[in-house]
Structure 1
């Protein structure tokens, strides 16, 4: 059973709790969010259809909970586990903490998201996706994704990096992060 550190709304440590308890009670906890970018594109993942939470939706390139026994930097394991990439620590940059709340019936996800930007030079052949977590990885032009996150566009085109297939997606195709989260990420991606 995963155990997470629980915080108050000021990011002061309170206790440990199970992941289920954290989401059922809407307790603040830490997550790791890593956005892979290059000069032109932002890379987003499409979650596996078998995921318990938010199956088949688009999301952060790699993300996950930081366990009670881990530091924030241990979250890098998410990039390695989900995408099969070896992380070059000289290319990953912390952009601080963004608060994010997702509310669904019986589920409240209150996150202190530790956001990182990773300057990617990976080729599609270097990815080895964890199939139970990630269905595919897609490239979106950076300026276009920023406009979508600011709701200046309703839809954007994304391209599957493995087969070149394009899809038209909107914010409703993403995990339902708060609008403020998307806007703060857009500022960081600019």
Structure 2
């Protein structure tokens, strides 16, 4: 592709053959593509286009008409943001084949939400220090959560833990320090000590 083709020539290339096409010899067929149901793309480099996405198909792919062929558009692995309908994206279109790739999301149509999607692959974030900050809510949802650290520090105003099954805590030593009130309640309770069990208080009520 002649990278110095004027903008007017590029726009005319979206239509039929022009004198500019004959001067260039073989006009890149990529200049003639247009997405189905959306505005025409604008070429930004050889084989790279700016496109406003329409709705994806049931298979999660988009389809565009390009040089008389229908091309399947998929998200490249380097584009971690999940494209949505209405997003403005950069599209890489090869000279041959029936597949094109979304390489980046330039502008999201959603003013409130962005989705990072690694598909069926594992997503790992690694750094000397990693910080996740939220102004309102941080939600973690998984079938299994595994934590491994030398030290875990928590500081909260209120904490509620609900476990429908068994909760098992195993440690070298455990200390529970409540400033005001400590209440343990259960239908059946057992306290066992191998050597010494000590109960100390100004008043002790049993039963």
The TM-score, its normalising length taken from structure 1, stands at 0.22
Rg larger in structure? 2
More helix by share: 1
- If asked which structure has higher relative contact order (CA below 8 Å, sep 6+), I would say 1
